[in-house]
Amino acid sequence: RWGRTYESFSSDPQIVSSLALAYFQGQNDHGIAVTAKHFAGDGGVLYGTGEGDNLIDRGDVRMSHEEFMLLHVEPYRVLVDAGLKIVMASFSSLNGVKMTENTYYLTEVLKGDLGFTGFIVSDWEAISGLSGDSFDENVILAVNAGVDMMMEPSRFAETVNAIISGVESGAISEDRVNDAVRRILTVKFDMGLFEDPYLEDLSCEIEELGSEKYRAIAKELVSKSMVLLKNEDDILPLKSGQKIYVMGPAMNDIGIQCGGWTMSWQGYADMGSKMNPGTTILEGLMEYATEYGLEIITDEGRASEADVVILAISEVPYAEFLGDSKDLSLTGSLGSEGNSDAISAAKALGKPVVSLIIAGRHVLISQYINNWDGVVMCYLPGTEGDGIASVLVGESDFTGKLPMPWYKRISDIGHDNPVLLFEKGFGLSYQ
């Protein structure tokens, strides 16, 4: 139910470690200083403990040290061993202590036991949320806990003054400041920023953002990340000669495909001209229609002619705490407008239905899935909707597996023995 679920790799720390390491190595090999976030436990907070009015985001993790190290710290150990140089402290808490002021885990565990030699940066304006009686006290708490750099764009002057006055009063030692400065400068030296501060000598193989070459790579990533959940009577791949009725709020909307953190913090639905060039699901199907002998129908008046109905339903774009969900429902407050009507209309047609779910997490579908012959989890594919179409027509096979469990009911979340709709690792293929 967490609004940052789509920012995460998996609920399995081994999968997180493996994918995070690959991501780190790919970025690092191209001269990018990677920041691992959010240290630590951000994805393990309890429902109902969120900061302020948040349901979940910036909440509290409640578990033993041993559990915490295994489930949440282990991926950072893997990255530190690989040479990670920047870590962002989490907004969240562990057993009531904010991570941004948690001296034990920032200094003793991360910098001590794990041997992290880089620097720790706070999250966006996180200092004001700490336990001190004033902003100056919060700065002191963060610095002494091990935070080396603070992301305080609105109160940067106050932050500087708080550090200076903290040193003058003895609340912050000069050694702590020197350590922070040394860590930051070392990373900048290692990145070559003192030899080439304006990146004038930087070589780059990419000449154009959004080029055909890199859109093709994005399309491939889309096709490999989808998960086939149901395929009754081999309804997929689509067959030559079929008429396909495409419907639903997500069938022709790049903004929905991209979700949050796209052009704006919360993203946009119905992006129109606000979005960079891309392909919607409908446009992708139309691109493949001629080659694969399909007729694509969008006219509701011709829906009865269809051999197969493709139902594209979705969540609205969201980010962070505004994506925290009470019910995980496709027809609730975070479901796209029109989902309910589209689900009902597809059922009323009495045709075989393939449901495409465009969402940042595993939404609840138990009450609908028996009415669908095929179900595909598309996650948030971004701009290249033709990557979805390519697999639906059989140009390539499904290879994706679920990175976390898919629950049947909201009441099963957090239980030791939940009733699952699909296990972690589930995923069908045409083979």
* Enzyme catalytic residues: 123, 320
CB neighbours of 76 closer than 8 A, spacing ≥ 6? Answer: 36, 39, 40, 84, 87, 110, 114, 116
CA distance 275 to 266: 14
| Helices of type H across 250-403 | 254-258, 281-289, 339-348, 386-392
Amino acid symbol at 126 = A
Which DSSP symbol is given to 191?
T
Element (H, E) at 419: none
Q: In what order do the strands lie in the sheet with 353-358?
A: 227-231, 374-377, 353-358, 308-314, 243-247, 295-297
- Answer whether 17's CB lies under 8 Å from 75's CB: yes
- Provide the token pair at 98: 């904010």
Q: Assess contact for 278 and 330: CB atoms under 8 A.
A: no
How far is 98 from 92, CA to CA, in rounded Å?
Answer: 6
Beta-ladder partners of 420: 407
**Which helix (H) or strand (E) covers residue 121, if one does?**
strand 119-121
Q: How far apart are CA 108 and CA 126, in angstroms?
A: 21
- Paired with 98 in beta bridges are 93
* Nearest-angstrom CA–CA distance, 310 and 327: 25
